[in-house]
Structure 1
Amino acid sequence: MKKTNLQNLGYIISVIGVAIILLWIGVFKFTPTEAKAIEPLVQNSFLMNWLYEISSVQGVSNIIGAVEIVTAACLLLHFFWKPAGIIGGVLSLGTFLATLSFLFTTPDSFKVVDGVPITQFFILKDLMAVGISLLIIGKSLGK
């Protein structure tokens, strides 16, 4: 394969991977288990805690889940319709920046175990997704 073919394949796999994660987690947000699990993260977030003023714990989780599902759909649609990539890329970027902010707003996110600083590692994967979101926006804008 040529370098450009490998780059294209890597891009396609990356976008599909982010879309699958968003779709899967988005669907899970409609369950009471996930709604309760994200409550401390959202509750301590200055970006998102206001949502609990307009809806219940499950309602907030449903809203977040719906946004994640729409984002996943836009990411997949962008292979056929570039404007969907702009929408999906921006929503994806916002989603992953918001979740990364949980590292700094959720109490006890950072701990030292056996002399090694640790954090909620599941959130750190979102750093890669921020980069992929920027690639999607750039490619959708033709830049």
Structure 2
Amino acid sequence: MHAKNKNNDPNIGSSLGYYISFGGAVLILLWIGIFKFTPTEANAIKPLIENHPLSAWMYTILSVQTVSNIVGVVEILVAILLILTLKFDELKKYAGFAMCVIFLMTLSYLFTTPNIWKIIDGVPYTDFFILKDLMYLGFGMHLVSYKTV
């Protein structure tokens, strides 16, 4: 059963699936964003960032921890923007766009980071923590397509 929202659409903003995806996205962005302030995570993301053509330059002018802190701040700000969409529908497009940028970037690390892919027992294997971003990219695209009245 779906309660209709102000757009009279039973599928956007009112379904259980939407709120589960919403909560998951906020949780992941906040939790991982906060974790970026630790030296462990700063060092863990360094191989991803330093091998990407759009972000490698950052390490020439900033420390490993500062780069990670910037990424963390962006992730936390997007989580806050997402939370604000609960009150302000017109922010959904912006939150969705920001999510698309973040998760397209992280998914692109699968193609720019050396040795991220391995073959185990004949099956391609990667760090699956990045693959979860496919779902968040889809949720971001869903938000971008949201129509306000």
TM-score (norm 1): 0.91
**How many residue pairs are counted as aligned between the two chains?**
142
Cα distance between partner residues in 2 of 1:13 and 1:23: 15
Alignment counterpart, residue 105 of structure 2, candidates 92, 98, 102: 98
Matches within 5 A, 1:10-49: 10-49=17-56
**Structure 2: tracts of 5 or more residues without a match:** 4-9
Deviations 1:82-127, CA, capped at 9 Å, x for gaps: 2332222111110000000010000111111111111111111111
Q: Which ranges of 4 or more aligned residues in structure 1 deviate by more than 4 Å? A: none
Q: CA deviation at 1:2?
A: 4.4
1:142 aligned to 2:148? yes
Cα distance between partner residues in 2 of 1:133 and 1:57: 28
Identify the range of structure 1 (66-75 vs 6-15) with the bigger mean alpha-carbon deviation: 6-15
Cα distance between partner residues in 1 of 2:119 and 2:140: 31
The answer to whether the 8 A contact 2:81-2:95 is kept is yes
Identify the range of structure 1 (31-40 vs 77-86) with the bigger mean alpha-carbon deviation: 77-86
Give the percent of matched residue pairs that are identical in Structure 1 and Structure 2.
50
Alignment counterpart, residue 9 of structure 1, candidates 3, 11, 16: 16
**Structure 1: tracts of 5 or more residues without a match:** none
1:72 aligned to 2:79? yes
Letter in 2 for 1:50: W
The DSSP-based 3-state class of the residue aligned with 1:132 is helix
Cα distance between partner residues in 2 of 1:84 and 1:2: 22
The DSSP-based 3-state class of the residue aligned with 1:117 is strand
Give the CA RMSD over aligned residues. Answer: 1.9
Structure (1/2) with the larger helix percentage:
1
1:121 aligned to 2:124? no
The answer to whether the 8 A contact 2:2-2:15 is kept is no
Q: Which residue of 2 aligns with 1:130?
A: 137
Cα distance between partner residues in 1 of 2:85 and 2:2: 24
Letter in 2 for 1:86: K
The answer to whether the 8 A contact 1:26-1:66 is kept is yes
